[in-house]
Amino acid sequence: MTEAFDTKLTVQVEYTTSENANKVLINKPTSELDVHVKGNGWELLGYKLNPTKAKFEIDLDNIERSGAFSTQGVKSIILSQIPGLSQIRSIWPEEIYLEFESLIEKKVPISLPEELPIAQGFGIASSIIVTPDSLAVKGPKSVIENITKHKVMWPANLGLLNKSQRVIIPLTFNGKYNATTTKEIRVAFTIDQLSEMSFNLGIEVKKSKKNILLIPAKTKVKFLVPISLYETIKPQMFSPYVELPTLNTEDLLPVLIKTNAPFVQNISLQPEFVNYIIAE
């Protein structure tokens, strides 16, 4: 083992860049080089058994554009890091292909889940306030150009919500882009118990110049509303209506509804369908 010995060794490859870089590596080049060497047998065996391997760093800031990077120029670096080497016979791969893309930055709104995990019998009673409501994101041009918002995952450890809260949510990213400054957001919301409420309202006939008689002419609008908003909900906030079909039909008409009542939910109508007579 004290004589010259031929073997293959592994050398790690690391890719470095500065925080102010204007481009990003978008492919996944090799992280290791296979090196065929000649050297002292005992020292080469010791290197193989050592978990710390020789390392070759490629400074991406010094490479201007995409293309093939030759590994043959690293022989002197490898010789200096691995004891007992007398000769490097070959390095594989001979070239490493590096593909870059421009880094860009833009501001996008923060988007919460459409539905929060609210406990049964409770509901949102105010607008949800998110601070900040947007953030600057930075990443490859092809990725950032297609981002319209940053979606936030609701923390599972908060459980079902049954009271007003102010929570801090750390931002997470998928690895394709990152935020340049904001690392967390603050979310404030009001939650209240729900109460049932109802109105008996007349049904409007839309899209018809004819004299239409509905049977029945009213529907009962039932819904749930946060208790704190109970006194603010008025009948004029709800508009039940039907639309007359373009062709004569004996089918019942479905009752539809428009509303601008804030934070009401589970709206139901009784009846849901009405009959009609066209008065001549």
On whether both 86 and 169 belong to a single domain, the answer is: no
Whether 8 and 93 map to the same domain: the answer is yes
The rounded distance, in Å, linking the Cα atoms of 170 and 185 is 7
Where a domain ends, among 98, 132, 166? 98
- pLDDT surpassing 70 at residue 3: no
How high is the pLDDT of residue 95? 92
Are 59 and 129 found together in one domain?
A: no
Select the more confidently predicted residue: 125 or 251.
125
178/202 same-domain check: no
Q: Are residues 48 and 21 in the same domain?
A: yes
Q: Which pLDDT does position 5 carry in this prediction?
A: 75
Average pLDDT, the chain: 88
CATH of the domain at 212: 2.170.120.30
Q: Which of 110-124, 236-250, 258-272 has the lowest mean pLDDT?
A: 236-250
**Of residues 184 and 207, more confidently modeled:** 184
Whole-angstrom Cα distance, residue 8 to residue 264? 71
Last-in-domain residue among 98, 124, 152:
98
> Is residue 237 classed as helix, strand or coil in its secondary structure?
helix
pTM comes to: 0.67
* 63 Cβ contact partners less than 8 Å away, ≥ 6 residues apart: 69, 98, 100
When comparing pLDDT for 193 and 153, which is higher? 193
Domain containing residue 217? 195-279
Write down which residue in 189, 221, 241 finishes a domain: 189
Among residues 71, 15, 17, 9, the alpha carbon closest in space to that of 41 is found at 9
- CATH number for the domain spanning 8: value is 2.170.120
pLDDT of 2 above 60: no
CATH of residue 113: 2.170.120.40
Q: What pLDDT is attached to residue 14? A: 92
Verify that 121 and 163 share a domain, yes or no. Answer: yes
Task: Give the chain's domain count.
Answer: 3
Judge if 76 and 113 occupy the same domain.
no
pLDDT tens-digit series, residues 66-101: 999 888 888 888 878 777 777 888 889 999 999 999
Q: Which residue has the higher pLDDT, 140 or 52?
A: 140
